[in-house]
Structure 1
Amino acid sequence: MFPLSPLHFQLQGAGFPILCLHGHPGNSQCMSVFTNSLSQKFQTIAPDLRGYGKSSTKTNFKITQHLIDLEKLLEQLQISRYLILGWSLGGIIGIELALRNPEKVAGLILISTAARPRSNHPPITWQDNFYTGLAGIINYFVPGWQWNINTFGKRSLFRYLIQHHTPATYQYLAKEAVPAYWQTSKIATRALNQALKEGYNRLTEISQIKCPCLVLAGESDRHITPESSQETALHLKNAIWQCYPNTAHLFPWEIPNQVLTDIENWIEHHQTHFRLFNQN
């Protein structure tokens, strides 16, 4: 009998499994930009991490608990070989899983993340919070309204998360980012902040990761800088780094077609490796 994972998850498609890990704040639905497309050729597993979405918890935990939860989930689903696609915090957890389970992780797709994450976000003012609140509330009820984008969105904290202030991008913010934000628990936030406070840094260890890695970054990312993302790629043994101009931390919602094309081309390039890895 397999140990039951406490995680809520979404399972789509069939084929070689791809574990899709969301960021903070986030949930499994935030990964739909990837899963809706990738599930046409692969099996995608998108969990709500502990303390996020529908994976509720009342007990404090350390960030390493995410790894235990995910290992239980994969065992429950009888998945022994898989790719990982991790966005922001999800990429950090993906790195940790690859370090713990090198015989199981066939490849890593790291998005807006780093093994030594660094931020250059400016101080947040009361005006930032004021305009973000207005923009977020209006956009939630009238997603992608250009007047709201021009009047409040571009003056809000959204300007540090995105560079493409388009209706399509704001649709993602309304339908996925806002609900995920409200479903993120203080306990999960506390676990992440504690790890960052302790100075999370796995640069010296990630050279142990031998699987193919694709590291993607947004040129104007203020939350996890493209420089720290590139630093991660340089320390990985088998990595390709790509930086998208005029995008920020949420670039998969800004240029989804380009990002998906690049991911699918990378997977196709390594398909022989993944097939052989799965047979071992």
Structure 2
Amino acid sequence: MNEFTLADGRKLTWRESGSGPPLILLHGWSMSSAVFAEALSNLSDSFRVLAPDLRGHGGSDGGQAYTLDALVADLRLWVEHLDLEPAALAGWSLGGELALRWALDAPQCFSRLLLLSTTPKFVAGDDWAHGLPPIQLKAMGRDLRRNYLLTMNGFFNLQFEGEALSRERHREIVTFAVRGGNLPEAEVAIESLKTLQQSDLRGELSQLTLPTLVLHGSLDKIIPLGAGRFLAEAIPQARLLEFPTLGHAPFLSDPQGQFRLWREFLV
């Protein structure tokens, strides 16, 4: 694990493998860079793959705020330190929303954008049907306080609901993606969930000029497929690939198939 000390003394950690054009991978809510262990191994022959732990996640120290802007601020300092520009940027779930925010703020830093199970707005509303109901998010916040580990386990399993995922593969994923990293503190998870509840990037998407690939599973129970379709329509240079048999984490359920598509887009 690599470490970088931010200006305020906090530690940011990241995993890295390979050499070549830089590829940055941003993990999802309450996960860590460990979720990309297979991606680092698979893609390191063609790219310098870097997967940071967001503040308060994995090995990275927490901070006072967990807004998209606060998370991006950490990452921008880290990228400047490593002199990675321009890099390809990939984000999964919360990491995808973070990638959108970062690419909108600093498009000159990136060459391509890969959005995995991503939404511009996590919560449903009168003008947005492609999110989770507000009452479900409120209940999740309550459950995180009452029984953190049980709630996190339920959320993890929801990522694969409806898929024909073998028990053996499920155990493999738990081993490297969950046990291979550190769960955030409960308050970090709750504050990060609030960020998902409050963020809405829909009105800015037309400003993105990067070549963008949106990958979305039709069985996704966390971010509905309609969100991915919306991104592909709203981002000028975006295209969408849908996967009828996959849920919220296609790169975990079908790593070889997904990494092949990543390569085709990124090379």
Give TM-score scaled by structure 2 length.
0.81
Q: Distance in 2 between matches of 1:256 and 1:84?
A: 18
1:169 maps to which residue?
169
1:213 maps to which residue?
212
CA displacement 1:57-108 (0-9 Å, x = unmatched): 2644433211010001111111221010111111111111100111111111
Counterparts of residues 112-123 of structure 1 (less than 5 Å): 112-117=117-122, 118-120=130-132
Q: Gaps spanning 5+ residues in structure 1: where?
A: 137-155, 269-280
1:105 maps to which residue?
110
Contact 1:216/1:242 (<8 A) preserved: yes
2:70 maps to which residue?
65
Instruction: Tell me which moved more, 186-195 or 85-94.
Output: 186-195
1:264 maps to which residue?
263
Counterparts of residues 244-259 of structure 1 (less than 5 Å): 244-259=243-258
CA root-mean-square deviation: 2.7
Contact 1:220/1:248 (<8 A) preserved: yes
Counterparts of residues 10-25 of structure 1 (less than 5 Å): 10-25=15-30
In structure 2, the CA distance between the partners of 1:103 and 1:82, relative to structure 1 (3 Å rule), is same
Q: Distance in 1 between matches of 2:207 and 2:32?
A: 29
Q: Distance in 1 between matches of 2:204 and 2:156?
A: 34
1:49 maps to which residue?
54
2:195 maps to which residue?
195
In structure 2, the CA distance between the partners of 1:97 and 1:12, relative to structure 1 (3 Å rule), is same
Does 2:77 correspond to 1:81? Answer: no
Identical residues among aligned pairs (%): 23
Q: 1:179 Cα deviation (Å)?
A: 2.6
Q: 1:40 Cα deviation (Å)?
A: 1.1
Helix, strand or coil for the counterpart of 1:79?
coil
In structure 2, the CA distance between the partners of 1:260 and 1:18, relative to structure 1 (3 Å rule), is same
Q: Distance in 1 between matches of 2:210 and 2:43?
A: 20
Q: Gaps spanning 5+ residues in structure 2: where?
A: 123-129
Residue identity opposite 1:208 in structure 2: Q
In structure 2, the CA distance between the partners of 1:191 and 1:120, relative to structure 1 (3 Å rule), is closer
Q: Distance in 1 between matches of 2:60 and 2:155?
A: 27
Q: 1:114 Cα deviation (Å)?
A: 1.3
Give TM-score scaled by structure 1 length.
0.77
Contact 1:107/1:213 (<8 A) preserved: yes
Which entry has the higher C-alpha Rg, 1 or 2? 1
Contact 1:25/1:181 (<8 A) preserved: no
Contact 1:22/1:86 (<8 A) preserved: yes
Size of the alignment, in residue pairs?
241
2:31 maps to which residue?
26
Q: 1:56 Cα deviation (Å)?
A: 2.3
In structure 2, the CA distance between the partners of 1:157 and 1:26, relative to structure 1 (3 Å rule), is closer
Q: Distance in 1 between matches of 2:63 and 2:209?
A: 37
Residue identity opposite 2:227 in structure 1: S
Helix, strand or coil for the counterpart of 2:193?
helix
Q: Distance in 1 between matches of 2:103 and 2:67?
A: 18
